[in-house]
Structure 1
Amino acid sequence: MVSTVQNTDIEQKDAEHAVVVAMTFKAVFGSDDGDDVYGAGVAFTLLQALQTVNERLLLENPSEMLLFDIILITTDRQQQQQSDRIMSSTRHHGLQIHRFCFSCEDDFTDSLLQNKVHLFLSTDKNETVQAASRGVLSALVDHQTTLCSSQQLKVVFCGDSIVQPDADINAASRQAAEVFSAQLGEMRRRFGALDSPLSIVVMTSSGGRDSCCSALRTLRTRGLSVDEAHCLAGAPRGIILSVLRPHFQLSDGLSGLQD
């Protein structure tokens, strides 16, 4: 059974126009140390970066409706029994979480579909794979995310999967990636070339310059222009990723990249 509760502490976003991002409880909050509120998890700065984008969008246009709509999902029964503590922790940390979704492990993907989630973020690879199999664009977050900026959201697209799509990926997942790309591109166009709170990067690990150019052209057809492009031509990704420090990495329909 899926139960969704609105956070009455903050103004709700227009779900028909917003970009709905769902995060797991384990990604947002840290381990339970017995305090009255939960500590920060690995996706804490990511959530703050999403809030920064929203704040800047509203600063540019107070009537803006293309905003990130954040949902917190938990499948842990014990945590669900402490829903008041979850909400008070959200309030304590100043997190703009718009809805809280409580479900069991067996039907958490149903909660993503019911809430029309555009992007699902988790620390659990199995969860991202399950979500992707239902056609929900998904990505992994880990301890590297804690090193990212809270003032600028940085997203890396895997150009290899864009140039050579995996035949095993279902059409719904690929379409979800294209929809999210278009939404992100429209958001990015709200800001100028400098001092943008949203940065888009494309990276190709294999192939040469032509492969990178092909990925760029494909993204542009979706309405997404990028701030940086990196053609690694077989070189390891680890070093450049440690410099870029993206909040998450996306490939067409897949649940993140492997270093």
Structure 2
Amino acid sequence: MVSTIQNTDVKQKDADRAVLVAVTSRAVFESGGDDGDDVCGEGVAFPLLQALQKVNERLLKENPAESLLFDVVLITTDSQQQQQSSRIISSTRHYGLEVSRFCFSSQEDFIESLLINNMQLFLTTDGNEARRASQEGVFSALLDQQIAFCPSEQLRVMICGDTVFRSDASPMPVSRQAAQGFSAQLGEMRQRFGMSDSPLSFILVMSRGGRESCGEALLKLRSHGVSVDEAYCLAGGPRSPILSLLRPHFLLSNGISGLE
């Protein structure tokens, strides 16, 4: 059973042009707390939603008629949070979060809510949910505590050049296609801004290979409409140090994306 509530406080986006992003409410808001408190605490994905909103604000500032915008849907599968649906809705209003719709479903039916709403990106802190969504062809990113320390003024997207545009057969080709389609939409968004002071930034990281491999990846990305702001070639080195320095919100890669 899937129940959807439209947020009448927010102007609804153009369904044919918007980039649809689903986020679990447990990632945005902390569970529990005082039942007498009408406002939930901030979760790990809170800065990410602020960054998505910042991109929308800048896009509309540049062009008030812009239709290529992030459209955020909050999905609740946690039984405790479902009992506090009014609290979740009032919390988004309190924090000024631009959430278009609220979906309430069971763990068994949450995939249906993603497919019904044609979600292009699913963000969750639950690895099992991310795997299930990815298997159904919905590009998914697994969030963790690192997200809480990411900047909210700029959306930082890291691209794993070793996997996103591989030419060999993938164990999950549908997920790879979904990631490529999503990155192309973000690339079109990025083109709306100049080289500096952009609210959206692409970071390419090559874990293997040298400068030639990095150059090939840059050309391949450009052919898909994605212009990269920063590029790093690790030549087999560990990725953790660069992650802690760059602090991306999520990773575009093959299959399920995470920052581990």
Normalized against structure 1, the TM-score is what?
Answer: 0.96
Contact 1:10 / 1:96 at 8 angstroms: preserved in 2?
yes
Q: Distance in 1 between matches of 2:196 and 2:211?
A: 26
How much does 1:163 deviate? 4.8
Structure 1 position 220, deviation (Å): 1.3
Q: CA RMSD in A?
A: 1.4
Change in Cα spacing, 1:163 to 1:182, as seen in structure 2 (3 Å) is: closer
Q: Is the 8 A contact 1:158 1:257 kept in 2?
A: no
| Equivalent residue number for residue 255 of structure 1 | 256
* SS, match of residue 184 in structure 1: helix
Report what 2:27 is aligned to: 27
Instruction: Identify the residue that residue 97 of structure 1 maps to in structure 2.
Output: 99
Q: Partner residue of 1:129?
A: 131
Aligned to 1:14: 14
* Match of residue 66 from structure 2: 64
Separation in 2, partners of 1:166, 1:135: 18
From 83, 100, 106, the counterpart of 1:81: 83
* Match in the other structure for 1:219: 221
Say if 1:22 and 1:120, in contact at 8 Å, map to a contact too: yes
Deviation at 1:32, TM superposition (A): 1.6
Task: Summarize deviations over 1:237-258 as a string: whole Å, max 9, x none.
Answer: 1111111010111203x11145
SS in 2 for 1:160: coil
SS at match of 1:176: helix
Partner SS for 2:162: helix
8 Å CA contact 2:159, 2:253 repeated in 1: yes
CA distance in 1, matches of 2:20, 2:89: 19
Q: What's the CA shift string for 1:159-179, capped at 9, x where partnerless? A: 110353673433321221121
SS in 1 for 2:41: coil
Give the Cα–Cα distance (whole angstroms) in 2 for the partners of residues 91 and 216 of structure 1. 40
CA distance in 2, matches of 1:179, 1:163: 11
- Give the percent of matched residue pairs that are identical in Structure 1 and Structure 2: 62
Q: Write out per-residue CA displacement over residues 32-86 of structure 1, whole angstroms, 9 at most, x where no aligned residue.
A: 2112211000000000000000000000000000000000001123322221111
User: 2:233 and 2:184 mapped to 1: Cα distance?
Assistant: 22
Q: After the TM superposition, which of the residue ranges 61-70 and 77-86 deviates more from structure 2?
A: 77-86
Alignment counterpart, residue 207 of structure 1, candidates 209, 215, 230: 209
**CA pair 248-258 structure 1, distance change in 2 beyond 3 A:** closer
**Cα distance in 1 between the residues matched to 2:189 and 2:241:** 28
Q: 2:173 is matched with which residue? A: 171
The C-alpha deviation readout for 1:208-248, integer Å capped at 9, x for no partner, is 22222222222112111110111001111111111101011
1:178-193 pair list within 5 angstroms: 178-193=180-195
Aligned counterparts of 2:167 and 2:130: Cα–Cα separation in 1: 18
Aligned to 1:4: 4
* TM, length-normalised to structure 2: 0.95
SS at match of 2:61: helix
CA contact (8 A) 1:181 1:219 kept: no
Partner Cα distance (1:18, 1:247) in 2: 20
Return the alpha-carbon distance in structure 2 between the equivalents of residues 89 and 16 of structure 1. 28
Which structure 1 residue ranges, 5 or more long, are not aligned?
none
